């Protein structure tokens, strides 16, 4: 890997987005953030929409900034959250702003869909965890509501693919983002036509499926002129942000579990093949696509969404995270618990009130102060992590010896320590920018600078220094876990 190489990563989360330049030099990777911007859904009438064209405009601004700062960009890659999609008409134009996965139109539709294809069959084909916002259920809700945009749609593009289409004019369906939809046959990697039938759509309404590292095309002539970057390739990275993040786990062996921590927490292991059994069905685990044909066998857990919603309501809480964590640590432990994945926390009018109501309903002390509420959230997340970690341990083919926490939530040292205490294994936090790093390294692999996922991780391991957290207070946390299980039962 000679010289210096620059790649531009567009990393879009469900609350914010960034454009980042990743530089490879002397066998190491470094990042430089170019732009950062908010990403919030827009309520209009009864629905919640993403400001899709606003995101496109922010990407273009990031490309312009890269040029202004003198970077010689070798390629561009886009990753986003999963499941959401854009509908495109026969004229190639977007038919409407896409719905947010938090839109309420999917409430109650899963059971209606299962009248067409039984639940066990849906899981047997897709291997995907049942969540009401899976693309399959979004599309079915639209079909039931006689959605005019769906009726007119020629193509269905998942968000990273739709944004790449705006940059290049070429349409693809990247496999890792497709895998989040519950429309893909986990064994073949192709669209499961049996699952499409109740939706009233056909397989031809999806663009060709491609693997991470595929060159989608070059910046359109219009964008070449607007950004000054020239005919830069746009690469289909692991379009699902968690797939890019998992590719950035700085591990040189495979005896680890990962926790991608952000708005959502996603805990799992990397497997060579999907794991679809009666047990995984009953435990509601998911099989999503990874880099080099791997499977991300994991469970979605509500994550920092709980805290961030509360922070918007807390008038007297410190805005500094470090101070908030310090005060939270001083609160009484295990005073009250919530089940983080309870539907009432998905998108409440008031998260603070939802937490209070849950604790009142389950006959626990009601957390009245911001400190008590924060402690309730962190204690509950750590215990939920242990619960899922124990499930993983029973399903994995080999022992899991440590947990890597990656993503923005890995900066939460208090929750990292709580997680080590709860799970009883060593926890390693970082890299914080795992998604962007994975995005960049997939581009580097496409450029021939590394030859494999293992080679990618070797570069990453040489570039970052994860912080270690060792378990403490085992007896107290065991007692707390027993209390948590009673509260959520």
Q: Enumerate the active-site residues.
A: 241
β-pairing, 264-271 with 286-289?
Answer: unpaired
Residue 53 CB neighbour total at 10 angstroms: 11
What are residue 171's phi and psi, to 5 degrees? Answer: -105, 135
- CB contact at 8 A, 157 and 85: yes
122-to-183, 299, 305, 373, 395 alpha-carbon distances in Å:
9, 17, 28, 38, 20
Alpha-carbon gap, residue 374 to 327, rounded angstroms = 9
Angle in degrees, CA 56, 62, 66, rounded to 5: 150
Alpha-carbon gap, residue 49 to 95, rounded angstroms = 13
- CB contact at 8 A, 34 and 76: no
Residues 6+ apart with CB under 8 A from 407: 245, 260, 261, 262, 432, 434, 435
- CB contact at 8 A, 136 and 179: no
The pair of structure tokens assigned to 10 is 């567009």
135-to-86, 98, 130, 184 alpha-carbon distances in Å:
11, 12, 11, 11
Residues in a beta bridge with 296: 270, 288
Residues in a beta bridge with 264: 302
The DSSP symbol for 415 reads H
Q: Is 333 exposed, middle or buried (0-12, 13-18, 19+ CB in 10 A)?
A: middle
Q: What Rg value do the Cα atoms of the chain yield, rounded? A: 22
């Amino acid at each position: 890997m000679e010289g210096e190489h620059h790649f531009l990563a567009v990393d879009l989360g469900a609350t914010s987005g960034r454009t980042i330049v990743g530089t490879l030099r002397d066998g190491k990777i470094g990042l430089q953030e170019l732009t950062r911007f908010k990403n919030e859904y827009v309520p209009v009438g009864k629905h919640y929409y993403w400001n899709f064209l606003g995101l496109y405009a922010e990407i273009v601004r990031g490309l312009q900034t890269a040029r202004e700062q003198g970077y010689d960009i070798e390629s561009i890659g886009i990753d986003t959250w999963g499941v959401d999609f854009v509908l495109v008409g026969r004229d190639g134009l977007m038919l409407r702003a896409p719905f947010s996965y938090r839109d309420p139109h999917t409430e109650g539709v899963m059971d209606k869909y299962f009248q067409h294809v039984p639940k066990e069959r849906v899981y047997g084909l897709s291997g995907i965890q049942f969540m009401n916002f899976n693309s399959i259920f979004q599309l079915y809700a639209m079909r039931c509501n006689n959605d005019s945009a769906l009726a007119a749609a020629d193509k269905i593009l998942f968000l990273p693919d739709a944004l790449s289409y705006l940059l290049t004019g070429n349409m693809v369906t990247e496999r890792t983002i497709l895998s989040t939809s519950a429309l893909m046959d986990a064994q073949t990697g192709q669209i499961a036509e049996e699952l499409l039938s109740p939706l009233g759509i056909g397989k031809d309404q999806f663009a060709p499926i491609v693997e991470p590292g595929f060159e989608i095309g070059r910046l359109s002539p219009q964008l070449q002129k607007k950004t000054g970057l020239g005919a830069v390739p746009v690469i289909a990275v692991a379009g699902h942000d968690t797939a890019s993040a998992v590719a950035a786990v700085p591990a040189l062996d495979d005896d680890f579990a990962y926790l991608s921590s952000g708005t959502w927490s996603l805990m799992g292991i990397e497997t060579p093949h999907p794991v679809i059994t009666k047990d995984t069905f009953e435990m509601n685990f998911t099989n999503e696509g990874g880099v080099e044909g791997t499977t991300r066998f994991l469970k979605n857990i509500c994550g920092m969404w709980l805290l961030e919603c509360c922070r918007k309501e807390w008038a007297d809480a410190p805005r500094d995270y470090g101070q908030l964590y310090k005060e939270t640590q001083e609160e009484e432990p295990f005073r009250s618990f919530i089940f983080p994945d309870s539907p009432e926390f998905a998108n409440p009018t008031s998260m603070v009130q939802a937490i209070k109501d849950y604790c009142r309903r389950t006959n626990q002390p009601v957390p009245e102060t911001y400190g008590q509420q924060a402690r309730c959230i962190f204690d509950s997340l750590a215990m939920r992590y242990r619960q899922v970690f124990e499930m993983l341990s029973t399903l994995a083919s080999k022992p899991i010896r440590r947990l890597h926490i990656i993503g923005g939530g890995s900066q939460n040292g208090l929750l990292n320590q709580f997680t080590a205490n709860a799970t009883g294994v060593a926890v390693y936090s970082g890299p914080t920018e795992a998604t962007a790093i994975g995005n960049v390294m997939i581009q580097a692999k496409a450029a021939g600078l590394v030859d494999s996922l293992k080679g990618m991780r070797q570069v990453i391991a040489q570039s970052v220094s994860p912080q270690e957290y060792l378990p403490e207070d085992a007896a107290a946390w065991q007692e707390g876990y027993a209390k948590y299980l009673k509260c959520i039962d």
